Chain A
């Protein structure tokens, strides 16, 4: 693990998301509760909608283009839709958000 500080928890609105640009593409970092964050690919597998622009509810996000819903724990599409977004290890240290740098770099090399 190589934890990279990507910002402060308050930089993300509660029940909202922000974008992080990485070598493996855009990653959305979601804040689902006061001190709960998830990271996943920003791109909906359906029609490439930007998930960081979706409505965040519970531990889920709804794609703004066609309302696909993803579980942020697993990245699995819910309901009748078939698909998955890549999830990335992320954690909080105090108020700082740390993203695992090895995953975003290693994948780019692969």
Chain B
């Protein structure tokens, strides 16, 4: 038979308990839910991102009206509970009684208000609910705010209002910020970061009195006589469990409502969860243990065996730009040893506390990437003797593992905790993926991983990538690679904004976590630097994929292919003879005509490359750049020269374009074509830039593709003259060079920025078009040259073995 369950308080703990209950046994209980706040459950710990404007309230609602309706929950929101008659098993609401078989207290906690003189003035608030948040959101430039309390909540409030432009002062009674979570050094770095955000921090400050005028708060007076003027005063000094109702009902209450391991109070039919609870002498303010309680309470209600166990917890601050992490016990003491790492220039501090060869505490500031790993060592009580020397450098330096975060995630055991808020381990996520959850939203829905504070979102995505492989792409906001948290877009912007003109400048100023990048980020950064600073930056061949370093395409057997340029696809007997001779001389096994209208010599040995190039150069042939993220070919038809349908000299335009563009580096390869009439024999309408000649002039199309994707070009503009067609093509390519993400073909880039955005800059704004063409020319003054000639004459040595020991060994 369905039993009656009454819940007092719609908070995060009781909401989570209901989810567990409905998942396990949807029809076990008929539920009535009281809530004093006139709304259902939202994710209270996400109020800080709402305050700072990073999220909206709608985004943090966890249970909306539809959810309650779907589960037949009778909602009595905005209605306080007056009393409870435990002998009759009846809850007295303000609007009438309701009987219960089981009752759950989720009354939560109230912010502690220091009874200073003036604490009841208008404009003195706590930071607890949406109303408080909305009061704070109204603060902007010109407003002054004082926050009493330099703990987690106070600082999130401070950062949120500072981000909105308010003039914020934090008053903290202790000698350093967040003293319960941080040691002095990390507290110092945190203070420094907050001060850089324009927040004033007063430490060791005792509040004496809140001053007002006409009932409205005016200033905070400290006991040293300092007066801090303010329009709003926020007290964020701690919370107290709400126990009044439970006390009046005769339940045993200490600081909170006493519960046993099953979350049952002194009355066997009454349970309590969340911040109103006292368990084993402790009360709870962070979300992870509350969720553990919710799960146990649901199991208890269903008659299942379960026990709530207090675990050590870790802390992160949800303030953008203040990366801190702490876990375990980090006080110094007898028998405890510290391992400390500092990097003052980068504002990094890490401290590990070790006792009896076990890690018992960790505090990190500035670089918290390894936080979860340290936290699991603390929880597991692992013996760290063998890795003590390199422990502080994190998992990347243990046993030959790698700094690639994906492999670190791959190496995690299935019981490793990924989402601390919800206690979700890797195995649960992997199971959910196996059960069909293939995107982040689905994984969140099925497991709750990353659904609370969200700081583990990246980690969850990495678990998904490791599990799904190529089937899962981390969303576009993903960082360039494991060497940095920045996205490609960030890196491009910062290289320009900070005028970073060398790789070391990028590594240092943008805080790369590897000495010189990796095979993913270095080619990208090398391109960005040479595209933005063509005269200042020198191309680094060692940051290029082998094809671009050796100016030939590597084949699967380690040999190379050689493709000489044929301008516009035009060649002659002398060039063909030179190619034939070279093919014979170097025993080229395969000679192939390419799709780009030229000839490919496949299977050339590395040490022969400079020699074959020298021979081809002698016949006037140069590199075709068939290997580069750069201009490849300009394919043409014979146009008005020979064809009876040709309208313009498509071959001539193709050759001019190729002579203007060759040698340039671009984010990805760039292929062009020019067709002499709309019959389009050069297949111009699937190229990165494709020109179709008509009687009245030239139709310039861009952003076509005929590879992984098939896309017809988009019309950029129709122009009457050949010169304009050239300028448009060049300006478009330069805009692409200056703005696109490395390895985005033009069609991908145009899809992101929009054709209109491109047209405005290339077609409509003639000055800008001219400036783009000029900047391209500046770059081409460096790069429009034959790399084969340079390598054949000056760098040939590098293509041969450094030494040959086979002969010496034979002797």
Contact = CB atoms under 8 A, between A and B. Distances in A.
B801 A62 contact: no
B810 to A, nearest CB: 8
A92 to B, nearest CB: 14
Contacts of A104: 805, 809
A20 B404 contact: no
Nearest to A15: B542
Nearest to A6: B803
B407 A79 contact: yes
Interface residues of B, number: 41
Nearest to A57: B518
Given A53-B554, A78-B400, A78-B401, A58 B805 contact: no
Interface stretch (B176-184, B543-551, B661-669, B786-794): B543-551
Contact of B406 (A12, A23, A80): A80
Contacts of B519: 54-55, 57, 62, 67, 69
A35 interface: no
B542 A16 contact: yes
B805 A6 contact: yes
B522 to A, nearest CB: 6
B402 interface: yes
Interface string B226-241: 0000000000000000
A79 B404 contact: yes
A104 B406 CA distance: 35
Contacts of B606: 50, 53
Interface stretch (B250-258, B412-420, B509-517, B693-701): B509-517
B554 A65 contact: yes
B608 to A, nearest CB: 14
Contacts of B403: 58
Contacts of B798: 13, 18
B224 interface: no
A1 to B, nearest CB: 15
A83 interface: no
A6 B805 CA distance: 8
B541 interface: yes
A69 B542 contact: no
A71 B541 CA distance: 21
Contacts, number: 123
Contacts of B543: 15, 55
Interface centre among A53, A55, A104 (most CB of B within 10 A): A55
Contacts of A18: 798, 801-802
Contacts of B805: 4, 6, 20-23, 99, 101, 104
Given A74-B400, A78-B401, A80-B410, A19 B802 contact: yes
A12 B802 contact: yes
A21 B803 contact: yes
Nearest to B518: A57
B808 interface: yes
A55 B522 contact: yes
Interface string A82-110: 00000000000000000101001100100
Contacts of A101: 805, 808-809
B466 interface: yes
A11 to B, nearest CB: 6
Given A7-B802, A21-B801, A58 B400 contact: no
B518 A58 contact: yes
Contacts of A49: 558
B247 to A, nearest CB: 57
Nearest to B607: A19
B514 A57 contact: yes
Contacts of A79: 402, 404, 406-407, 410
Interface in B775-798: 797-798
B400 A23 contact: no
B808 A4 contact: yes
Contacts of B803: 4, 6-7, 20-21, 99
B556 interface: yes
B806 interface: yes
A29 B541 CA distance: 17
Nearest to B559: A50
Contacts of B522: 55, 57
Contacts of A55: 518-519, 522-523, 542-546
A6 B549 CA distance: 23
Contacts of B544: 55
Contacts of A22: 805-806, 809
A30 to B, nearest CB: 11
A26 B801 CA distance: 9
25 contacts: A6-B803, A13-B542, A15-B516, A16-B541, A20-B804, A20-B805, A22-B805, A26-B801, A29-B802, A48-B557, A49-B558, A50-B554, A50-B606, A53-B549, A53-B554, A55-B543, A57-B519, A58-B514, A58-B516, A67-B519, A73-B400, A79-B406, A79-B407, A80-B407, A101-B809
Given A19-B801, A74-B400, 16 more contacts: A4-B808, A6-B803, A13-B542, A15-B516, A20-B803, A21-B804, A21-B805, A22-B809, A29-B802, A55-B523, A58-B515, A65-B554, A71-B402, A78-B404, A78-B407, A99-B803
